[in-house]
Chains A and B, each alone.
Chain A
């Protein structure tokens, strides 16, 4: 299981990372989307201050950057959990009863459509249109790994296995 690394909180280092992302894309406004993708991969979400910084650096109005960031489903303006659980609700998965899995996951983790992330910042539950694994429907993707032929029970068990593998946080 790939997990996202906890990032060093050092501000100077974060700025350096941010600058490196901007430099890698030549500070071109046309590269806004790849830049935001890189930022999100780095921070797990798009913090407001970072977006303002990107806007200033690219010479774009902050409202434009905000508009782009809120248009695409990939971008999150709120922090996501350590594990991003994406339930496929494509047609194939839907007709094979993906929704009860979603309900089970949300029930189990006590999240909903509005609040997708658990209070302990461990899990985010999202739906995704199609993961291209229709033959294995219904599927769930956790941090990039596809789990096939899911049932509500199996999905909950996956979550529990991850929970157990996590060292308890103070």
Chain B
């Protein structure tokens, strides 16, 4: 008999069964080694120095980066290792903004948990004095660098899983920081707001931006009527915040909770998911049969849409023009509910409950605001809703289930599986199959499009027509497929893209899962919900049909188009010839540009820049004024050149620059 290869861990033999590193093996032996920077889905980084173990004959090594070898003898908790770990945590705490009670991550902070686990009660090292401004520029995320422990998880998820790299390490040594390019703000760069950085962040640096106060305010306003739409993925994850297992569907209690908090009506985004299926399915069939642009990319994921706008503007015509279910709901709600609920349009407040941080950004896209009224007013993540339920003092588990309001609370199984990767494809297939054949579909489950892989393909033959589908999650995978399409090497009809791992169920607004098991359970929860429902095809949703009859007109018609479709923008930095990036700043600030061409520099541009920046800081004008050095204003003879708003000041002095700034600010505000 061959003896299995084993590693001796703290005196116990543990068999090696394909574990990639000692950390996995040690965890298999039920020893919970601490770590910040190890994630099985990311590359090995080895920076947090917490998973150190003592390997006999080799000394202290990082478990995450050492492959197991037969015969190794390992100790995981010697006095020496415990002291190193303590010191490591103390060093981090000394450099950390420790205002824990007011931190959004206080219930879920790994640093706090480890400090407690190691019994750290004093910090022997000097606290960091320097404080950095909190970045609130993004609609979706808050970034507080004062809490960063530089584990790099956010950088790696953004680069490796999402293929973006909007944030990276900058500077070095004790100055090292994670920042967007040029120290800009998150809202001003190519971040797509997917929030996966926040999902991976072990502390409270990156967190979904809270809109809870706006909801409470709306409840307080007697003129307002506040209604909710709840996305499919929320119902199988919210329970986790209240001690229920992942994947347990809690729709009934969720509705009860929302009513108890103060919502006048509770609807379901699954309804507009059904609507999306009809619109998008019809769009696809038209493209397929009438020679339109194929492959067609789905457009329900706002992170993917922004990603495409930044990186693949040439593929924007391939994106389905359908709005996402959230935005279809918003436009339909603002179109029909004021009359139905007896409220003025501007007093109807539509609140979305979403698994997603990018939905916050989507709701603020200018295309979705008409005459100053946004289709969706407020977007809450699953996490935020849980916090509101806690704040209201509700015992969630004990709530009596309630039912959704009609008509927008009615949905089929096709709508509810939208929350899992492959769900949109399957729902569209259920529609397209009947549309193509004109016969009722006997078997609604298309198991070939289900699965966990980040890049899956399926071919479905319907009545002699082959439909080739690719399903991707993770934007790095999307980039891969988009490159194939660009190169003409992709032979797909439909490409479903979801930014987050596993689809919306793995969204960054969901309770922090920590591992893939929760995602798996949530996915199963959605497919089980589909099974339990009486209807499985969007075209069977009678209220959808009714909506077309009463409000939308014919499918694919002009009115439906105006309310349910949208268009996209090229956000790519412009090509050669012009060096400036076309990024709309989060707010419209007064732009002060100081030429840093050689001629201007020699004549004191730097001095002016120092002075103007100082002036801006002194008067706390940072939110109103951007001061930038630009490369060359081509006005060298009259340097130094300063531009304040639209005014060009040749041969500018510090005084003139300040005066112009004051004048322009007065006009500006």
Question: Direct contact between A and B in the complex (CB less than 8 angstroms)?
Answer: yes
Residue B626, interface by CB 8 Å: no
Closest to A22 in B: B576
Q: When chains A and B are docked, how far (Å) is the Cα of A85 from the Cα of B166?
A: 35
Q: How far apart are B383's CB and chain A's nearest CB, in angstroms?
A: 26
Inter-chain contact B581/A52, CB cutoff 8 Å:
yes
Q: What's the least CB distance linking B522 to chain A, in Å?
A: 31
Q: Using CB atoms, name the residue of chain A closest to B164.
A: A61
B467 at the interface (CB under 8 A from A): no
| Complex contacts, A61 vs chain B, CB 8 Å | 159, 164-166, 168, 181, 190
- A164 at interface, CB cutoff 8 A: no
CA distance A159 to B256 in the complex (A): 78
A64-B601 CB under 8 A given contacts A48-B182, A49-B631, A53-B579: no
Interface 1/0 per residue, A21-64 and B, CB below 8 Å: 00000000000000000000000100111111101110011111
A19: chain B residues within 8 A (beta carbon): 576
Q: Does the CB pair A66–B179 fall under 8 Å?
A: yes
Q: Is the CB of B636 within 8 A of A79?
A: no
Docked-complex contact A56 and B575, CB < 8 angstroms: yes
Q: Which of B552-582 contact A (CB under 8 A)?
A: 573, 575-577, 579-581
- List the B residue with the shortest CB-CB distance to A49: B579
Q: How far is the CA of A48 from the CA of B189 in the complex (A)?
A: 14
CA distance A60 to B166 in the complex (A): 10
A6 sits at the interface (CB 8 A): yes
Does chain B have a CB within 8 A of A67? yes
Binds B, one of A8-16, A91-99, A128-136, A148-156: A8-16
Instruction: Let me know if B187 is at the binding interface, CB within 8 A.
Output: no
| A9 in contact with B632 (CB, 8 Å) | yes
- CB-CB under 8 A from B190, the residues of chain A are 61-62
Residue from the list B165, B573, B596 in contact with A52, Cβ < 8 A: B573
Known: A52-B573, A63-B165. A70 touches B602 (CB 8 A): no
On chain A, which size bracket covers the interface? 35 or more
**Cα-based distance from A169 to B631 in the complex (angstroms):** 21
Question: In this assembly, does B451 line the interface, its C-beta being within 8 Å of a C-beta of chain A?
Answer: no
B181 touches A63 (CB 8 A): yes
**Cα–Cα, bound, A151→B541 (Å):** 88
Which of chain B's residues has its CB closest to A122's CB? Answer: B602
- Residue B169 interfacial (CB < 8 Å): yes
B598 & A63 in contact (Cβ 8 Å cutoff): no
User: Is A65 an interface residue, CB under 8 A from the partner?
Assistant: yes
Instruction: Give bound CA distance, A63 to B631, whole Å.
Output: 19
Of the candidates B168, B581, B634, the one whose C-beta lies within 8 Å of that of A63 is B168
Q: Verify B182–A66 contact, CB threshold 8 A.
A: yes
Cβ of A49 and Cβ of B630 under 8 Å apart? yes
Whether, in the assembled complex, B262 has its beta carbon less than 8 Å from a beta carbon of chain A, the answer is no
- Number of residues from B at the complex interface, CB < 8 A: 42
Contact A121 B181 (CB under 8 A): no
A50: which B residues are within 8 A, CB to CB? 579, 631
- The smallest C-beta distance from A76 to any residue of chain B, in angstroms, reads 12
B115 close to chain A: CB less than 8 A: no
Cα distance, A115 to B602, chains bound together (Å): 16
Chain B residues contacting A117 (CB-CB under 8 Å) are: 606
> Is B596 in contact with A79, judged by CB distance below 8 angstroms?
yes
Q: Does B170 contact A (CB under 8 A)?
A: yes
A62 pairs with B170, CB closer than 8 A? no
Contact at B166–A63, with CB atoms within 8 Å? yes
* Distance to closest chain A CB from B284 (angstroms): 31
Min distance, Cβ A84 to any Cβ of chain B, angstroms: 14
> Is B599's CB within 8 Å of the partner chain A?
yes
Q: Which of B169, B182, B607 is the one whose CB lies under 8 Å from A119?
A: B607
Partner of B182, one of A7, A9, A51, A78: A51
B579 touches A63 (CB 8 A): no
Please measure, in the bound complex, the distance between the C-alpha atom of A48 and the C-alpha atom of B604, giving whole angstroms: 19
User: Is B171's CB within 8 Å of the partner chain A?
Assistant: yes
> Does A120 count as interface, using CB distance less than 8 angstroms?
yes
CB of A11 within 8 A of CB of B632, answer yes
CB distance from B598 to the nearest CB of A (A): 5
Contact of A6 among B180, B596, B598, B604 (CB under 8 A): B598
| A75 CB to nearest chain B CB (Å) | 11
**What is the CB-to-nearest-CB distance from A158 to chain B, in angstroms, rounded to a whole number?**
21
A14 in contact with B632 (CB, 8 Å): yes
Q: Which residues of B contact A10 (CB under 8 A)?
A: 634
Q: How far is the CB of A136 from chain B (nearest CB, A)?
A: 29
**A60 to B573 Cα, complex, angstroms:** 12
| CA A115 to CA B614, docked complex, whole Å | 14
C-alpha spacing A15/B575, complex, angstroms: 12
Given contacts A67-B168, A67-B170, contact A9 B636 (CB under 8 A): yes
**B597 contacts chain A at the CB level, 8 A cutoff:** yes
Q: Which residues of B contact A169 (CB under 8 A)?
A: 602-603
Give complex CA distance A64, B166 in Å. Answer: 8
A170 to B640, CA, bound (A): 12
Shortest distance in angstroms between A62's beta carbon and chain B's nearest beta carbon? 4
Known A15-B579, A63-B179; further 13 A-B contacts with Cβ < 8 A = A6-B602, A9-B634, A9-B636, A53-B579, A61-B164, A61-B181, A63-B170, A63-B181, A64-B168, A67-B168, A67-B169, A78-B606, A121-B601
In the assembled complex, 5 residue pairs joining A and B whose CB atoms fall closer than 8 Å, in A order, are: A10-B634, A14-B631, A56-B573, A119-B610, A120-B602
Among all A-B residue pairs, the 8 with the closest Cβ atoms? A61-B165, A62-B181, A63-B168, A49-B579, A67-B168, A63-B181, A9-B636, A66-B181
